[in-house]
Amino acid sequence: MSDCLFCKIIAGEIPCNKVYEDGNFLAFHDIHPKAPTHVLVIPKTHLVSLADATEADSALLGQMMDRVRYIADVELNLEVGYRVIINVRAGGGQEVDHIHVHILGGKTLPF
């Protein structure tokens, strides 16, 4: 989607600090980290939010969570633990309308 920030990052039009990439997913450091480690995992296909997903997206969502586990454990070495967040639509704090999973870690997280 041409006016989507994360699609532009996927296309290489906007730089990112990349952590992981495969044919279907990209992970990169959040530009305003809210924990010592704060990484975003996104699918390369434009899906607006979890609320916009359908059953047809089940495989994609499952694969995305599998990548989240791999990236947290293997790429980021967060064996001690981490938090996974998906903000959904404006009321849930979603600012970028391309579904993304936040991985937060690197310290003991509050509540």
Active-site residue list: 100
Give the three-class secondary structure for 80.
coil
CB 25 within 8 A of CB 63: yes
Decide if residue 48 touches Zn ion (CB under 5 A).
Answer: no
Site string for ligand 5GP, 61-100 (x = CB under 6 A): --------------------------x-----xxxx----
Q: Using CB under 6 A, which of 23, 31, 55, 80 touches ligand 5GP?
A: 31
CA distance 98 to 94: 9
Cα-Cα-Cα-Cα torsion 59, 57, 68, 36, nearest 10 degrees, comes to 180
CA distance 72 to 56: 26
What are phi and psi for residue 12, nearest 5 degrees?
Answer: 80, 10
28 binds, among Zn ion, ligand 5GP, none (CB under 5 to 8 A by kind): ligand 5GP
Decide if residue 7 touches Zn ion (CB under 5 A).
Answer: yes
Question: Nearest distance from residue 111's CB to ligand 5GP, in Å?
Answer: 18
C-alpha 102: how far from chain center? 5
Decide if residue 19 touches Zn ion (CB under 5 A).
Answer: no
Residues found near ligand 5GP in the complex (CB under 6 A) = 5, 14, 16, 28, 30-32, 40, 87, 93-96
